[in-house]
Chains A and B, each alone.
Chain A
Amino acid sequence: MSAHVVSNTGVMLGRSIRHVTRSMDTIITVTIMPIAFMLLFRYVFGGAIQTGTGNYTNYLMPGILLVAIASGISYTGFRLFNDMQSGIFERFHSMPIARSSVLWGHVLTSLVSNAISVVIIILVGLLMGFRTSAGILAWLAIAGILALFTLALTWVAMIAGLAASSTDGASAFSYPLIFLPFISSAFVPTDTMPGPVKAFAEHQPVTAIVNTLRALFEQQPAGNDIWTALAWCAGILIVAYAFAMRAYHRKIA
């Protein structure tokens, strides 16, 4: 049975990856906005922002990566929604295959396509002066945290894909997620924010994740931030997975 799951999921992943590679516009639209933000913050606002660190491109890179992932997962919701609409979801569900492979194919595709976006953005960042002293272990930790963040948001996207009643609904849920890094330590230090905003910024997941990534890129100790970041990602993942499963079972009841 488990060999079944792996083989079925492999086929589903292959199918869905083709969807990504045959509509490269989805990768381009996902990367273009974060790159635009990066240009904007680096060359327009950057000169006036006092972060107390030398290289502002280094400072904003983690936040930009999270913006990219938050916008990338909207396509995951969109692709799943299309499957539900087109009847191919029902075809798969009436076949002698592991049903879980239908959803996992989308989840794995989301991880792959977001990884592509992240690599593209880091490459563009290098051109703009992004530099890191991170060694292999730090890079592995960065990749792991980004993957966990992607996985957590992907399951949020799965809820939207399963429960939405329109294409817009299946992808628009990501807008607030894209906005979240702006009210965090991603682009400016939280010190200068007024009380309530500062309180929000310092206690939402993006700040902990951004601070962790920044520390890892700079080879600095991440301190407690890394545990807060991991707890947020794991928490979002568990809650989103539970709700997605509920939406899924309601769909196939």
Chain B
Amino acid sequence: MQTPPLAIQASGLHKSYGKLQVLKGVDFVVASGSIFALLGSNGAGKTTIVKILTTLLKPEGGKASVGGFDVVSQPARVRESISLTGQFAAVDEILTGRENLIMVAKLRQVNNPGQVADDLLERFGLADAAKRRVATYSGGMRRRLDIAMSLIGNPPIIFLDEPTTGLDPEARIEVWKEIQSLANSGTTVLLTTQYLEEAEKLADRIAILHQGTIIVSGTLAELRKLLPPARAEYVERQPTLEEIFLAIIGNKEGVRP
């Protein structure tokens, strides 16, 4: 069996802000076409790692390559291979949804920007809101637009920094489905999250970042082995509030409008 090529390689990454050491030697690799979740609490350094890998920050030590290109010496080549959906929806509020997409399509010099924009608006359930200013969008709509903007030009590697933070359960399921379908089509996805459930649902491999280093990483099955073996117990399982919420509003699968 051949091992798949690596989309992302990071070794010994160091970064500090003033005296605060945020990253103290971070190592991990991400296989092409997989979903990799970087799990950690607030302030663990997840965003710093994403910024280094997307060429927004330079590491003080260590090496990283994305799509086979070094992030420090070949940043322009890295940027051609990636897309970043940052922690806060990076959309232009004064423009309409359609204008935001066309702007990115033009910047990426994609053919037929208008058509690309319309297709994405349709796919992300934003067609009705296409001509409205983004300032009027809900949090979930902004995030969907944000992700749609990242897909323009079909970059092979996508970074999603806390893509579902602040979203309601429906919107979260919506975003999960999109991430899943991206990976199914061969895109490599690195996502950061503080939600254990999110990592569990989506990721092929999970790395836990704690106090500036990755303390464990592996598949979910591998991580489970680190815990004491499961015991069989009879527990009456009450529906979670999320299940009740979704059942009542009749949108179990997070069906797109």
Contact = CB atoms under 8 A, between A and B. Distances in A.
B200 interface: no
B89 interface: yes
A93 B56 contact: yes
Interface stretch (B103-111, B206-214, B219-227): B103-111
Nearest to A23: B94
Nearest to B85: A91
Contact of A94 (B55, B109, B133): B55
Given A14-B103, A94-B54, 16 more contacts: A7-B106, A18-B94, A19-B94, A23-B94, A86-B93, A87-B88, A87-B89, A87-B90, A90-B56, A91-B149, A93-B55, A94-B79, A94-B84, A96-B79, A97-B107, A97-B108
11 contacts: A8-B107, A11-B103, A18-B95, A22-B133, A86-B88, A86-B93, A87-B86, A87-B87, A90-B51, A90-B56, A94-B54
A90 B58 CA distance: 14
B92 A11 contact: no
Interface residues of A, number: 23
A88 B80 contact: no
Interface string A93-109: 11111000000000000
Given A86-B90, A87-B89, A94 B56 contact: yes
Nearest to B91: A88
Contact of A95 (B79, B86, B91, B133): B79
A253 B104 CA distance: 24
A15 interface: yes
Contacts of B80: 96
A137 interface: no
B151 interface: no
Q: How large is the interface on B (under 10, 10 to 19, 20 to 34, 35 or more residues)?
A: 20 to 34
Most buried by A among B55, B82, B92: B92
Interface in A71-96: 86-88, 90-96
A-B pairs with the 9 shortest C-beta distances? A87-B90, A91-B90, A94-B84, A96-B80, A94-B54, A96-B79, A87-B86, A87-B88, A88-B90
Interface string A231-253: 00000000000000000000011
A18 to B, nearest CB: 6
A94 B82 contact: yes
B94 A90 contact: no
Contacts, number: 66
A15 B56 contact: no
A64 to B, nearest CB: 29
Contacts of B92: 15, 86, 88
Nearest to A88: B90
B56 A252 contact: yes
Contacts of B51: 90
A90 B86 contact: yes
A14 to B, nearest CB: 8
Contacts of B104: 95
B79 A15 contact: no
Interface in B7-51: 51
A101 to B, nearest CB: 8
A90 B84 contact: yes
Contacts of A4: 109
A28 B88 CA distance: 31
A94 B190 CA distance: 15
Nearest to A253: B58
B107 A95 contact: yes
A97 B94 CA distance: 22
B88 A95 contact: no
Contacts of A96: 76, 79-80, 108
B168 to A, nearest CB: 21
A111 B221 CA distance: 59
Contacts of B95: 15, 18
* B55, B80, B92, B107: residue with the most chain A Cβ atoms closer than 10 Å: B107
Interface in B59-87: 76, 79-80, 82-84, 86-87
